[in-house]
Every structure is written in structure tokens, then in C-alpha cells.
Amino acid sequence: MADLKSMKMSDKDRKLIEDAEALLGPEPTKLGFVKNMFWGNLRTDLVFPYPVQDAKETAECDQLLARLDDYLRNEHPAITIDQEQEIPRWVIDRLFELGVMGMTIPKEFGGLGLGITSYNRVLERIGHSCGSTAVLVSAHQSIGCKAVMLFGNTEQKAKWLPHLAKDWVSAFCLSEPNVGCDAGGQETRCEKTPDGEHYILNGEKKWATSGAISGLFTVMAKQKIVNPKTGKEEEKVTALVCHPDMEGVEIYQKNRSKCGIRGTWQARIRFHNVKVPKWNLLGQEGRGLNIALTCLNYGRCTLSAGMLGGARKVRDQATKWSRTRYQFQRPLSDFELVQKNLATMAALDYAMDSVLYMTTGMLDRHDEDIMLETAICKVFCSEMGWRVTNCGMQIMGGESYMTENEVERVFRDSRINLIVEGANEVMQSFIFAYGGKQLAENMLSVKNALGWNKDEGLGANIGRILKNSTNFKLVRAAIPLGIEIFGGVRRNRPAAPKVHASLQAQAERLAWLICEHSHQFKRASKHYEEAIITRQCVQARLADNAMWIHAFACTLSKLDQDLRRGGEGAEFDRDKAAAFYFFDMVEQEFAQNIRSLYDNADQSMLKAAAAAIKHADTMPNSEYSIPEKSPIAKGTGRTLKQDGIKQFPGSPTVGAGAR
């Protein structure tokens, strides 16, 4: 199979692909649901039937939720946390007492041993009450604890996990002043001492949630490692566990004032020649990015759960408001445009729920290839949750801006979710590239073997084509591909899943969408050729369609389950109608994206952007915020006033045996 790097492209773009491949590692042997979708395949076994929790664990989770609900209803100071910009230590202690902070840690290490679905049910409930607290719990469980749980050895787990279950908050140190979405661009470094007993760690980390009060840090750092295959020294990322009381660790900024999730603290941490025992290495040297990406798979789900909880709070409040607020002698719910917002909130809520718990079910059963599914879960739930919140605020009007209704707090808390755990724009390019990579390489192989290369002479082209035309396997792949791309004849759509009789028409729609998505990906790849590597707007449209189709499949599977269980009542009727509206929404969004692949305003947009960029270069740096470590403008921006930002006296909790 051809390699995408063999295509004509700039050295910068080729390096980008190489770095991405190194970051992701080898392709899984079994393709997940979304990758199969790009090929035009419908892997019904991966999404049907809808995942179901073990009855015993469901009961255990229900008990935890009952205790948590009582606490959230009667004790939790959500409004005060937002106003005071601090989660009090007593709140964190109560969450430890309830078992929330250690709910996924195995029972033998003092945790509750719950699975990912249960964990997200809890995060959804917390997100319904307090976005700040949801972020605190997620940062601790999904990435802080998870790194040790998944990659720690037996001794490391025995030493650290009991503390992480009972009294230590953990932090994940990946982002840096110059490193956000570019996770591989670490500037923090570590090197082994001559005796091989320690790593010397130097660098700076930013956005370490709860870092100011954490007893354990998982730190990513670049390390020079000899490649055993080539004998050459390469820079790889290594994961180390550090503690705040190690000499040379400086937590020099505990808090920055934020628009939302105001109760969370994002610390800045410097490491000055910190001697980290070799015993504190997580996993293998040079495998730090694999650890980070694996943990982010879990973090993207819990972010989605918190988003779902907040969106549901807004949906319910705004819907009730529409029934009781009168204008022009009629309730707001009588007006069609208000009804549109009500229906949108209900539809997107049901779809978010379907996508989230399909993804957690995949994680719980340890599906091999789910990186795209978790990315889609994050993008879909953050985008749709934001839409739901916006709809709710529009219904409630000016009252939604008032703090006592708590809708505006959800609005503020929600916005960050489109940015963290991989900005949605980056995730769109990732979904496109990683989802279609194998199909694109297959198409490139056929093109290189049988296509006409204008850079080759007549004899070379004819010789190569004649030689490869005797390759039966190659020709068998080329003929249907050529018919589809050049003749516009779609391949046969996949068999639709067998679902509840009332949903069979929707199952056929799903099969058609998958077939059409694969066709349009091939068509766009042929149309744009090498340019598609940099055409992010084109990539985003294809990625969004993959997202919409996956959400359609998840929603169909969940509704199928609900119908088979014999659902009834007003809530079930609402959800069923919402699901059918969502199916129609997907087709509308899908069709618009297909039209926009070729009929769009991209060129005028690029010209307008270029003009805006040119004008920005005339604006004085001194009047604007400038990235603190900008490679071209460091230290030239306006001075930011931070005198009024509280730097709280909280300190890390580090128990005995940290070292």
C-alpha cells in the first residue's frame, strides 16, 4: 500500500504527517466503526445492540448516585464556588469520602472499581450541578489517576493508587506555554544521570488543572533515546511521576481568573533540575505520548458527560420556562420558532446521551480501535451541548443572563469544552485524516500503479501500467474504484441493521448515508488531490459528516433498545419524537456539507483572511495580548493586569510515602 508521504507536498506538510504517524503508532489490526464508515462498511456488531451495563455494577453505581444526589442537593455550594473562584478543601474531602474521587480505581487499592460507563453517569450528575466540580473530578480520574492505573507497574500502583483514592488530588502536566494542541512539541526535557538512577527534569507546564493542590503529577518530557533499529539518537516523550515536595518543583502560579469553570485552579509549574527516581518512570521511555493520548480517550468522554449534564439542566429549565412565560397572551411554547428551539434541545440531548454511552460501552468492553469514536464523542457533545445551551438562553431571554437562574453559569462553563482535550478544529482534521488514511493510501496505490503520471515519459507510463495490469488483486480493486470515481456509480450500500420494525426505514437511511459518505470522500480526494492535505475547510465538512453519521447510528441503536424494552410515558414519547427529529437533522446537515464541498465561499474567505492578517501586521503589538513565548513577538504585547486575581493559599496534600 502506498504511503501518503509519497504524494507531492511541502516538506512542512510531509513532516506533519510523519509526526502524526509517530504520535498515533501503528494502525490497529481491526478497524473501528468510524474507519469502516469511510470504506463504506457498516459494522453493525460494533454499535448494535446498544451497550448494557452489568446489573451488579449498575446497582453499585445507583447506590453511589443516591449518595451523591443527596450531597449535591443539600450540601454542595455550586454558586459559591463560581462566585469565590475556589472549590473548598472540605468539598474535595467530601468527594473522597463519597468515593467519587476514587470510583474507577480498583477495589484492591481502595477505590470503588467502577467501569467507565458508571464513571460518566456520575460525571453527568455532577455536571448538572456544577461544571467546576465536574472538571476537578474529571482531571483527577481521567488523566491523573488513569495514567498510573493503565501504565503503572504493580509496585507503583500499590504505592500511589491508595492515596489517589483517598486523599491525593492528581494533575496531568502536558500543556506548556508553547504547547497546546501540538502535544508532540514538548520543550520540557529530562535526561538520565550518569549512574542511570535518576532523571533530571527541567521545564515548565501550564494549565495543570488542580496542580496547586495536587499530591502527584504525571509529567511529559522530551528525552533523547537511541533508536535500536537505526542506532541514531531521537527525541521522544517520556512520562514521569513527580511530587510537589521534590526539590526544584515550583508551583509559581495557582490560579487565573476565568470566564467559566471558575472554581478550578489551573497551575503553572516549573521544574528546576528535579531529580526524579528511575522508579517513577511510567511505562517505557519514549512512550509518553501514547500514554497521554490513551488517557485523553477517557478524558474526552468525561468532558462530554459533564457537558451533557449541564445541557440537560438548561433544557429542562428552558422548556418549563416556555410553558409558564406568557407574551401576547400566549405561552412562549405556542410560537413556532420557540418550538424549533425546544425540539432542537430535546433532539440533541437524546443524541448526546446516545453517543456518550455508546462510547463508554466501547471503552468498557476494551474495543481496539476507538480513538476516532472518542474524538467524535468530544466534538459532538461539546458542539451540541453548546447549541442546547444557546437555545435555552434564547428561550429565556434576559432572565437567562441572571445568575440566580444558573443558566448563564452553564453557558460560561460550557464554552471551554470546545477548546480543551483537543480544540474541535484540530479534532476535525484528525477525524478526517485518521478516518480516511487507509482508504486514501489504497486509492494512492491504485493511482501510482495504473494511473498516468505526467512527470513520466510515454514509455515509462505504458511500461508501468502494462506491468501492473497483470496484477489480478490490484486490478480487482481498481475497476470498481474507477467506476465509482470517474463514472459516479456508487458501490452497493451496506446491509442495514435489523432493528425494531418501526425503525427499519431509519436503518436504511443509515446504510445510505454511510455509502454516500464513502463515495464523497473518494470523490473529494480525486477532485482536490494533494491539496486536500491542507484544505482544512474541506476536511472539516467530511469529518462533520462522519460525526453526524456516527451520532445517527448511536441514536438509532439507543432508540431500538428503548423500544424493545417497551418504553412508555411522556418522557419516552418526548425522546422518541426527539430521535426522529434528529434523524432528519442529520440528513439536512449531511446534504449541506456535501454541497459545500464544491459550492462554497472558501476562496473569498481565504482572500478576506489574508487581508485581515495583513492589516493585523500593521497594528501595534503593545496594544494587544501577545503569546508569552511567541517566536516572533515575545515580550512586545501589552502588560496584562493581574492584581485583582486571587492567588489562594491552598497547598498540595502529600501523604506519607510520596517518595
Q: Following CA atoms 41, 499, 311, 359 in sequence, which dihedral angle do they give, to the nearest 10 degrees?
A: -50
DSSP string covering 316-333, please? HHHHHHHHH-EETTEEGG
> By the 8 A CB rule, do 230 and 195 touch?
no
- What are the backbone dihedrals phi and psi of residue 629, each rounded to the nearest 5 degrees, phi first? -120, 35
> By the 8 A CB rule, do 135 and 305 touch?
no
Residues ≥6 apart with Cβ < 8 Å to 200 = 190, 191, 192, 193, 273, 274, 275, 276
Hey, which residues does 172 pair with through a beta bridge?
Answer: 218
C-alpha cell at position 484: 465509482
Residue keyed to cell 504517524? 21
Separation of alpha carbons 300 and 316, rounded Å: 24
Residues ≥6 apart with Cβ < 8 Å to 61 = 53, 114, 118, 121, 122
Q: Following CA atoms 195, 151, 65, 46 in sequence, which dihedral angle do they give, to the nearest 10 degrees?
A: 170
For 354, other C-beta atoms within 10 Å of its C-beta total 27
> By the 8 A CB rule, do 625 and 637 touch?
yes
288 in helix, strand or coil? helix
Residues ≥6 apart with Cβ < 8 Å to 306 = 123, 124, 126, 127, 131, 134, 135, 138, 417
Separation of alpha carbons 525 and 540, rounded Å: 13
Q: How far is CA 86 from the centre of its chain?
A: 26
> By the 8 A CB rule, do 446 and 556 touch?
no
C-alpha cell at position 540: 472539516
C-alpha cell at position 408: 448563564
- For 384, 477, 557, the CA distances from 548, given in Å and listed in that order, are 11, 28, 14
DSSP string covering 164-231, please? HHHT-EEEEE--BTTBSS-TT----EEEE-TTSSEEEEEEEEEEEETGGGEEEEEEEEEEEEE-TTT-
Q: Which element (helix H / strand E) includes 270?
A: strand 266-277
Nearest to 617 by CA among 633, 601, 597: 633
Q: Which element (helix H / strand E) includes 281?
A: strand 281-282
Separation of alpha carbons 566 and 572, rounded Å: 10
Separation of alpha carbons 150 and 143, rounded Å: 10
Q: How far is CA 351 from the centre of its chain?
A: 16
Separation of alpha carbons 134 and 412, rounded Å: 14
C-alpha cell at position 374: 472518542
Active site (catalytic) residues:
421
Q: What angle do CA 122, 92, 364 make, to 5 degrees?
A: 30
